A and B are shown apart, each in its own frame.
Chain A
Amino acid sequence: MKSVILQIATKYIKWLLVTFALIALLRGHNSPGGGFIGGLLVGLSVVFHSFTYYGAECVKRSLKIQPEAYIASGLLLILLSTLPGLLLKQSFMAGIWISVPMPLLGDFKIGTPFLFDIGVFMAVIGVTLLFFFTLNSIVRWK
């Protein structure tokens, strides 16, 4: 049973969910949120989209970046975030922060934990999507 209203609404709701995910990722350090939650929200949006729209295989093919690539890039980002500590002669995975002055928002601090969080975000996206697409591929829809 496909609902036309839901189908059309999904096109926008899906992007809403992704936005929520990005917001969760960015504010994770100071408010509830973080990499895991962001990644799960993106996964959720894809699941939602595939149920209401054309089915999971279609969604999978239309994805510009495949889940395995998400996983790989996530792990790579995590690895990269551990290296500045070594390069600056501190211990492995030491948190290195730099302060970026932005015109209206004041000083903006970014550092390796943030990079780590983005890596976790990507990896969790990939994992969730991989789970979902694989499970879906063995299902025979009646």
Chain B
Amino acid sequence: MYFFSKIDAVAGGAEFYQKIVWIPQAGIDFEFVLNGLTLAFALLITGTGVLVFLFSHAYMKSYKNLGIFYFYLFTFGAAMLGLVLSGNLIQLFVFWELTSFLSFLLISFFHEKEASRSAAFQSLFITGIGGLVMLAGIVLLGSVVGSYSVSQWVEHASLIKAHRFYLPGLLLIFVGVFTKSAQFPFHFWLPGAMQAPTPVSAYLHSATMVKAGVFLLALLNPILGGSPEWTYILTLTGAITMFLGAYFAITQIDIKAVLAYTTISSLGVLVMLLGIDTVLSIKAAVLFLYVHAFYKATMFMVAGYIDKKTGTRDLNELGGLIKSMPVTFFIVLLALLSMAGLPPMLGFLGKELIYEAKVQSPLIAPYVLVLGVAGNALMVAVALFLLFKIFLGKPNRSLPQSCKDDWAFVIGPALLAFLSLFFGIFPGLLGKTIIEPALNNIIPISYPVKLKIWHGFNTVFFLSLFTVAVGTSLFLLIYKSEKVLRIWRVANHKFFTIKLVDVFDHILSGFLAFSARKTKLIQHGYHRYYILTIFVLTSLFLWYQVYITIGWDLDNVFTLKPFYVSGLVVIMILSTIFSVLSKSRITTIITMGVTGYGLALLFMYYSAIDLAITQIIVETLILVMFVLILQRLPLFAKLSSKASRLRDLLIALSFGTVMTVLALKSINVDFNHPISDYIINNSYSKAFGKNVVNVILVDFRAFDTLGEVVVLVVAALGVFVLLKTRKT
């Protein structure tokens, strides 16, 4: 309703803008823009949203977890709205990823089914990676302009176009667009997404989310458009997608699959039109946006309704439903006529405009035209096929006919189908209010929009006639003899042996296997080798550094100490050697303890009493615990081979020497004002303590102590968990 009320103002040329500053240093703010283009999309999102909610009320009645479902759906609508109203490209990216994520949640709503889960994962993976690639492109081009705000980009459009980052940025953004809007070769996730509940398919995968890429293209057209790269890449990809989608749609069996492939085709049309980049083609694109939303959402909802009523969506089983669902038949008739592009539906106008755009497009008219006609002919055939197969013909007696007829099922599709008809007859309303302002935002020149049904007997009209003729004859061929369709299906299957879906799965599992192998190599689980790697690399780096920076001269470092100190050091060194060479475990541990106690005595000589006390107690506790552990080890030790002992000796010597040298060298490195002066001077006056060490621990550097205590706690918990949860 809100957006509806803004139509007049926006049509008059006004533009609404609101900015919330977020991270100014990075140029990321929340900017909300309401202009012609964004309003067109916003109306679409909110309008179809309301109808889908109504529809899902009836459709999802029998399922559990409905609260979460509506939460997801609603959040998705909000995210999509945020996307189209974004004025800042990073903000747009955030919403982009949000919609991908919510699409994932919604597709996997029936999460008990394996197919649902894998389809959802596939869609998330592809659109997610596309999104990241797109972010790279945005950042790249943003660095040229110096901001991520769209208005800034528009101002500096010529700067961007001439810069050497233009092509890479363009390509990166294109990847994002192609993954989101299911363009070839990233289109294969969309048919998989049909695992979602039908209201989700109607909302996300026909009217809104997949159009996000198209929206981005329209938004960026005034900035990046107009260059040959833009035109060629988009037109080519769009045309291929358009044709492929329509081609694969015919041979599908599930109604939703047919609709998915035709959606892919329509998205291809939109991309192609934006690529052609003339006034006519953009006009056609905006119109087609609405045309497609109208009939596709209708068809999805009807497909869901049929599924609820008859229990199946299989085209081979359905038939003759006109008798039991007459109203639905009428609705579907309107929608499919629009899809086929027949008057007086809005679809007819759409198709005419598209043909006109193609005919008048400068460079690439011939192949675009051919593909276009072929694609449209296929769409006509599909439309007629769906209509006749589902509703006409002999009814299938074996299908259950449930009697409950909920009006909520029907009202949404009915309204949309009616709009197709209404705007087909009175197109001016749509043109003036929505299409014109949107057009003005996409192309930087004002252009009045006049839409009418009858353009006269010109080339376009004959093209349309030709298309309908071909389409109808194709349909007759398939409908009359079932064999043709079956042969076609088999031919497709045989011909297209390399299915992109399988390629994707292959790449994914290959990557996972590679990661597993690499992880096993580096994270092998052997503590010994971890330590070895650390020691070797550290000593190498330190040796290198010492060699380059400080050099080897070691004068002025050695001073003579009293005999008891040197005696102590000699004892320590001897006990270390003894512990390495001894063959008994207890002896090793106890002689290592001698080193520890000796260290404590050295601390005392240098008046570090706190350190000494702590060292003595910790050494005692460690000795006790080591002796405890000893009980668990086997009685007879398996001594390692001579070679590995030699290797260990070398590594230990190297590491020890380099640390010694470093320690000796650090005596000579002096700083200007050692912080110890400050601490000693202020320890009593500011911190009321005479024990400087303790004051540092609990006052001056208390935050570090906090961290250390937490580390101790984590270590203790780790020991507890690891030892208690062992399998004995």
Which chain A residues have a beta carbon within 8 Å of chain B's beta carbons? 24, 28-37, 40-41, 43-44, 47, 51, 71, 74-75, 78, 82, 93, 95, 97, 109, 111, 113-114, 116-117, 119-120, 123-124, 126-128, 130-132, 134-142
Contacts and interface: CB of A to CB of B under 8 A. Distances in A.
A134 B720 contact: yes
Given A32-B610, A40-B618, A120-B698, 11 more contacts: A28-B694, A29-B698, A33-B610, A75-B709, A75-B713, A123-B709, A123-B712, A126-B716, A127-B715, A134-B719, A140-B632
Contact of B690 (A29, A37, A141): A29
A124 B625 CA distance: 16
B706 A78 contact: yes
Interface string B715-728: 11101100110100
Interface string B584-597: 00000000000000
A139 B632 contact: yes
A34 B687 contact: no
Contacts of A74: 709
B628 A136 contact: yes
Contacts of A43: 621
Interface in B616-666: 617-618, 620-621, 624-625, 628-629, 631-632
A43 B624 CA distance: 12
B713 A123 contact: yes
A131 B719 contact: yes
A128 B716 CA distance: 8
Interface of B: 609-610, 613-614, 617-618, 620-621, 624-625, 628-629, 631-632, 687-691, 693-695, 697-699, 702-703, 705-706, 709-710, 712-713, 715-717, 719-720, 723-724, 726
A28 B699 CA distance: 12
A138 to B, nearest CB: 6
A142 to B, nearest CB: 7
Given A134-B720, A139-B632, A29 B610 contact: no
A116 B716 CA distance: 20
B713 A127 contact: yes
B698 A37 contact: no
Contacts of B713: 71, 75, 123, 126-127
B704 to A, nearest CB: 11
16 contacts: A28-B694, A29-B688, A32-B613, A35-B697, A36-B697, A40-B617, A44-B620, A44-B621, A74-B709, A78-B706, A93-B706, A97-B688, A130-B717, A134-B723, A135-B723, A137-B724
Contacts of B690: 29-31
Contacts of B688: 29, 97, 109, 111
Nearest to B713: A71
Contacts of B716: 71, 126-127, 130-131
A34 B610 contact: yes
A38 B211 CA distance: 68
B719 A135 contact: yes
A134 B628 contact: no
A37 to B, nearest CB: 5
